[in-house]
Amino acid sequence: MSHPSQDSQAPLLDQVAATLGVDRTQIGEHLVRDHATSVWAWPEAGLLVRISPAHHTPALHRALALTHWLHEQSVPVTAPAHHELIEDTTRVASVWTHYTHHPTQAPTPADLGALLGRLHRAGEAPVDLPAHDPLASLLATLEQPRHLPQPTVADLRARAHDLRQAYNALETRLGTGLLHGDAWLGNVLVDADGTARLCDWDEAAVGPREIDLANLHQGRRFGRTDEDLDAFAAAYGDDLRDWDGLPVLVSIRDLHTMGAYIRAADGGDQKAADQLERRISTLDEPEASWVSR
């Protein structure tokens, strides 16, 4: 039985297969993730196909160019397998190397710290990257939400604007440069050889490097321990816990991660709506867990 996404995306998947000379019936095709971007594995062909909304096209062009350059700099990243995008009227496909995940080794905070250290030392990328614009996507999502009551929407907007002002006043100690933009453990994979790689480059930008480090600290809400943060800091080479700008960046991440839950709740996803309610209720409790309440 086919998956609904497979039915709706079949014409574009067929177009990708024709472009690459692949027979979709012989490659073990299966859906890895079905979200704003759908991810299809073609393991027998060594390929991963990401199908995104058409408005992601500029970001995907940047991601392909950036990861190609990083791969040449020997930074462990997921490498593009095809250097052109394949499009239809509403969607765009990018094609990446398929990596078999390690059977027992999961990515660790130390893996992420080491990867970010290498990324931040790679130098200036020959790619025209945008300046990091914190909470822009959340504010766009809050333009016409259907699930949240208006007083909550107004409160979230006010918090976002206040945090953007605080962000603009930050003094970076790590300097400004290339950012992954969404650096968390979910965007690290460990391949069959045990190599940890950074993936999902749609939010790559230029900005204060602390942004890439702050995301793991926000993970305290999800059970992140002091030992995890120690290992992360040692692998990266800097510990943000003594930097006075960290609470601002953690609060920004708190709000940013709500965007996907708002969109899912608007689409009728009750689990997302429940999680969104928990997250909003603990915004004023920095150490509260969003997943245990």
Within this chain, do residues 82 and 133 fall inside the same structural domain, yes or no?
no
Q: Which CATH number do you get for residue 194?
A: 3.90.1200.10
Q: Is 292 a residue whose pLDDT tops 50?
A: no
Within this chain, do residues 261 and 145 fall inside the same structural domain, yes or no?
yes
Mean pLDDT, to the nearest integer, of 56-81?
Answer: 95
Within this chain, do residues 38 and 160 fall inside the same structural domain, yes or no?
no
- CB neighbour class for 230 (10 Å; exposed up to 12, middle 13-18, buried from 19): middle
Within this chain, do residues 125 and 218 fall inside the same structural domain, yes or no?
yes
Determine, yes or no, domain membership for 75: yes
Within this chain, do residues 67 and 126 fall inside the same structural domain, yes or no?
no
User: What type of residue is 64?
Assistant: L
Mean pLDDT, to the nearest integer, of 36-50?
Answer: 95
Enter the DSSP assignment of 188: E
Summarised one tens digit per residue, pLDDT across range 125-136 is 999 999 999 999
Q: Which CATH number do you get for residue 53?
A: 3.30.200.20
Mean pLDDT, to the nearest integer, of 265-292?
Answer: 81
C-alpha to C-alpha distance for 74 and 64, rounded to whole angstroms: 15
Q: Is 2 a residue whose pLDDT tops 80?
A: no
In this prediction, residue 3 carries a pLDDT of: 57
The continuous run of DSSP H or E covering 164 comes out as: helix 150-168
Phi–psi pair at 91, nearest 5 degrees = -135, 165
Share of the chain above pLDDT 90, in %: 84
Q: 13: Cβ–Cβ under 8 A, 6 or more apart, which residues?
A: 6, 24, 29, 40, 49, 51, 93
Token pair for residue 261? 């839950």
Number of structural domains, the chain?
2
Within this chain, do residues 167 and 84 fall inside the same structural domain, yes or no?
no
The structure's pTM equals 0.90
Summarised one tens digit per residue, pLDDT across range 252-264 is 999 999 998 999 8
In this prediction, residue 6 carries a pLDDT of: 64
In this prediction, residue 288 carries a pLDDT of: 60
Last residue of a domain, one of 52, 68, 97: 97
Mean pLDDT, to the nearest integer, of 241-248?
Answer: 95
Domain range for 87: 4-97
Lowest mean pLDDT among 45-54, 61-70, 261-270: 261-270
Within this chain, do residues 260 and 218 fall inside the same structural domain, yes or no?
yes
Q: Is 196 helix (H, G, I), strand (E, B) or coil?
A: strand
Last residue of a domain, one of 42, 73, 97: 97
In this prediction, residue 197 carries a pLDDT of: 98
C-alpha to C-alpha distance for 119 and 41, rounded to whole angstroms: 26
Within this chain, do residues 63 and 167 fall inside the same structural domain, yes or no?
no
Within this chain, do residues 175 and 88 fall inside the same structural domain, yes or no?
no
C-alpha to C-alpha distance for 48 and 96, rounded to whole angstroms: 5
Phi–psi pair at 169, nearest 5 degrees = -95, -5
Within this chain, do residues 92 and 167 fall inside the same structural domain, yes or no?
no
**107 or 145, higher pLDDT:** 107
pLDDT band at 188 (very low <50, low <70, confident <90, very high): very high
C-alpha to C-alpha distance for 40 and 15, rounded to whole angstroms: 14
Q: Is 203 a residue whose pLDDT tops 70?
A: yes
> What Cα–Cα distance (Å) separates residue 144 from each residue in 7, 154, 183, 274?
29, 12, 28, 20
Query: What burial letters (b/e) apply to 88-119, b meaning 16+ CB within 10 Å?
Result: eeebbbbbbbbbeebeeeebbbbbbbbbbbbb
Within this chain, do residues 276 and 135 fall inside the same structural domain, yes or no?
yes
Within this chain, do residues 208 and 263 fall inside the same structural domain, yes or no?
yes
The continuous run of DSSP H or E covering 259 comes out as: helix 258-266
In this prediction, residue 60 carries a pLDDT of: 96
In this prediction, residue 220 carries a pLDDT of: 80
In this prediction, residue 293 carries a pLDDT of: 37
